[in-house]
C-alpha cells in the first residue's frame, strides 16, 4: 500500500507501516505521545528506561487517546550528550517491538541516525521524526528506503549548542525557507512529497520571542502543503513565561497546544496525553460547531 492515500474528501491520510493516520481537517488534530527511553531527557529522563516501564507508559498513553507514540533513545535537550548508534538501538528496538506486539498504535522513531531509522521501521515503527530533517549522511537514503512518513524539523545548530545566542533576521521566513529546501532535498532523494510532515522546531535554537513568533505565524508553515507537527509540551519557554518548573507547566502547555491547533497544527506532540486530547477535542468541537449543527438538522 502506498504511504499516502487520498480520501474521497480530497484530504490525505498517511499510511504508517500498515496503520492509517487520518490528518484531514474534518477530524480533530492528533496527539503524539512522547516516550523517551533515555536517562537524561529534560522532563522524564530515566523514567522509562526498562522495556516494561516503557510499554506500561505507551499503553497508558494509547488509553488516553494518543494516535502516535514517539519513541526516542537520544535526548535532544540543550547540552545533551550524544549517544552511539548501538546504544540508541539497544534502547529503542526492544521498546518498539514490545509496543508493536501489545498496542494498536502508530509508532514513530525519534532519531537522526540512518541505521536506527532502518532498524526501527523493521521492528514496527511507522514514522520517522527527525530533529535534523534528514541532514545526517545517509539519512535521506535510509528514509527513502523505509517508505514511511517523515517529519522534518528545523533546528539551529545541534542540541549541544543550539541555545547559545540564537539569532534570526526573520525567524518565520528563515525556518520556512529551510523546510522548503529540505522538502526539495527529500523529493530529489525519491521520497514522495505526500509522506512529508513539517515541524518548525519550537525550542530548538530559538529564544522565547522566536518561539512565540513561530506559533503566532504557524499558518505560514501550513502553507507549505504538509501537515504541521508541533511539540510545545513542558518546554523551557513556557517555564520562563510562567516561572514554572518542568512538572508545573501543564496549563501553559495545554494553552500553547490549543493555539497551535488554531493556527494550523495537525499533530501535537505531548507528555500529558489525556489533558492534551481533551483540549484538542474541545478545540475541534468549537471550531466545527456549525458543521455539527448542520448534521443534526439533516
Which residues are catalytic, by number?
235, 269
Residue tagged 524539523 (cell numbers): 153
Cβ 273 vs Cβ 18: under 8 Å: no
Cβ 178 vs Cβ 156: under 8 Å: no
Distance CA 244, CA 249 (A): 6
Q: Exposed, middle or buried: residue 288 (CB in 10 Å: 0-12, 13-18, 19+)?
A: middle
Classify 295 as helix, strand or coil.
helix
Sign (positive or negative) of CA dihedral 16, 20, 26, 28: negative
Find all residues with CB under 8 Å of 112, minimum gap 6, and list them.
74, 130, 131, 132, 135, 136, 139
Find all residues with CB under 8 Å of 223, minimum gap 6, and list them.
none
Rounding to the nearest 10 degrees, give the CA dihedral for residues 117, 41, 208, 29.
60
Amino acid at each position: 500500500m502506498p504511504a499516502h492515500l487520498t480520501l474521497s474528501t480530497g484530504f490525505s491520510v498517511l499510511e504508517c507501516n500498515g496503520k492509517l493516520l487520518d490528518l484531514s481537517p474534518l477530524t480533530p488534530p492528533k496527539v503524539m505521545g512522547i516516550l523517551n527511553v533515555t536517562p537524561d531527557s529534560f522532563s522524564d529522563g530515566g523514567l522509562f528506561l526498562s522495556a516494561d516501564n516503557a510499554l506500561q507508559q505507551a499503553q497508558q498513553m494509547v488509553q488516553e487517546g494518543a494516535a502516535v507514540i514517539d519513541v526516542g533513545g537520544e535526548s535532544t535537550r540543550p547540552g545533551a550528550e550524544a549517544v552511539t548508534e548501538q546504544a540508541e538501538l539497544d534502547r529503542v528496538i526492544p521498546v518498539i517491538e514490545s509496543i508493536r506486539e501489545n498496542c494498536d498504535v502508530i509508532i514513530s522513531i525519534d532519531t537522526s541516525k540512518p541505521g536506527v531509522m532502518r532498524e526501527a521501521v523493521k521492528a514496527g515503527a511507522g514514522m520517522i521524526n527527525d530533529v535534523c530533517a534528514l541532514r545526517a549522511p545517509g539519512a535521506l537514503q535510509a528514509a527513502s528506503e523505509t517508505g514511511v512518513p517523515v517529519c522534518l524539523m528545523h533546528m539551529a545548530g545541534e542540541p549541544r549548542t543550539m541555545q547559545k545566542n540564537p539569532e534570526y533576521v526573520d525567524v518565520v521566513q528563515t525556518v520556512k525557507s529551510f523546510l522548503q529546501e529540505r522538502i526539495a532535498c527529500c523529493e530529489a532523494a525519491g521520497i514522495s512529497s505526500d509522506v512529508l510532515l513539517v515541524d518548525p522546531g519550537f525550542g530548538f535554537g530559538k529564544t522565547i520571542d522566536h518561539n512565540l513568533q513561530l506559533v503566532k505565524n504557524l499558518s505560514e508553515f501550513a502553507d507549505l502543503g504538509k501537515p504541521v507537527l508541533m511539540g510545545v509540551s513542558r518546554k523551557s519557554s513556557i517555564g520562563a513565561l510562567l516561572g514554572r518548573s518542568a512538572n508545573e507547566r501543564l496549563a501553559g502547555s495545554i494553552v500553547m497546544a490549543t493555539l497551535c491547533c488554531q493556527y494550523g497544527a495537525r499533530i501535537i506532540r505531548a507528555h500529558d496525553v489525556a489533558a492534551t486530547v481533551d483540549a484538542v477535542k474541545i478545540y475541534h468541537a468549537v471550531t466545527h460547531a456549525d458543521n455539527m449543527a448542520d448534521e443534526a438538522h439533516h
